[in-house]
Amino acid sequence: MKIGFIGLGIMGKPMAKNLIKAGHELTVFNRSRAAVDDVVAFSNGKAKAADKASDVAKGAELVLTMLPNSPHVKSVMLEDGKVADFMEKGAAFIDMSSINPMASREIADALAKKGIDMLDAPVSGGEPKAIDGTLSFMVGGKPEVFAKFKPVLEAMGSSVVLCGEVGAGNVTKLCNQAIVAINIAAVSEGLMLGKKAGVNPEAIYKAIRGGLAGSTVMDAKAPMIMDRNFKPGFRIDLHIKDLTNVMDAAKSVDSPTPLTAQVFEMMKILHADGKGQDDHSAIAQFYEKMANTEIVRGQ
């Protein structure tokens, strides 16, 4: 399939490479030319560079975006350069960014007037799963459009689930981000309680990970916390962006989010302390600052 791909950041670049591995032909654009050149060099002739975002749409059956937030997707598709104006009627657009669901629906409505179908398909899994092609896709859109393009998403992910109409993918992603943030905070709080009470955090982790308290989040983040490894897989600042969207969406539908709101405030404090570029496992450092104690493996 001929695909236009916009956004070759920490997630987008490995995702584009997995599409190439699956045999798709790509035209790629990114503000940083180095990422474009890397993908083109990797492609063995299956990808070409675009000089501007709108160039990816020419002749493409599908346009994909992987961008930071709602304004970036709206700008690329509907405003500056208007990629939508260069897409052929009958082509489709899949936004894999994590954005406000209301923005997804606004973009979808504008594209529908041009005869272009849209899916919103944000991902979960971070850079490691983007690299190995095992991301989880949460998708919103028409079932027939989903069925047509599901194999494309499966080239980048191991789980591709239709959650409802356009916008449902990003609603589901916001639920995911709230649950992940609260889970990291709970892991941090529990390990700190154990440490302050004189029990080795590693022993606590090993003892509870196989029980009801165990989770994918715990297995991914507890070792990072205990090893003082806050190298970003998913940055605090990006999670703040997502939780901002969670709070906005919750307000619009009058849904209570007291736990999310609390972790949101923790993350904003960490940002103010200069830790916004750390991995979101650095939520533990909020507890460490309050307790004046570090959660360290073996201690």
Which residues are marked as active site?
173
**DSSP string for 93-124:** EEE-S---HHHHHHHHHHHHTTT-EEEE--EE
Q: Looking at this protein, which amino acid is placed at residue 212?
A: L
Q: How far is CA 83 from CA 25, 59, 87, 122, 280, in A?
A: 18, 12, 7, 20, 33
Cα 223 from Cα 201, distance rounded (Å): 10
Give kind and range of the element (H or E) at residue 79: none
Residues 271 and 236: beta-carbon distance below 8 Å: yes
Can you give the length of the chain in residues? 299
- What separation in angstroms does the CA of 289 have from each of 39, 93, 106, 292? 42, 45, 42, 5
Cβ atoms of 186 and 178 closer than 8 Å: no
For 135-152, letters b (16+ CB in 10 Å) and e give bbbbbbbbeebbebbbeb
Torsion (CA) 56, 62, 66, 69 in degrees, nearest 10 = 100
Rounded CA gap, 55 and 239, in Å? 31
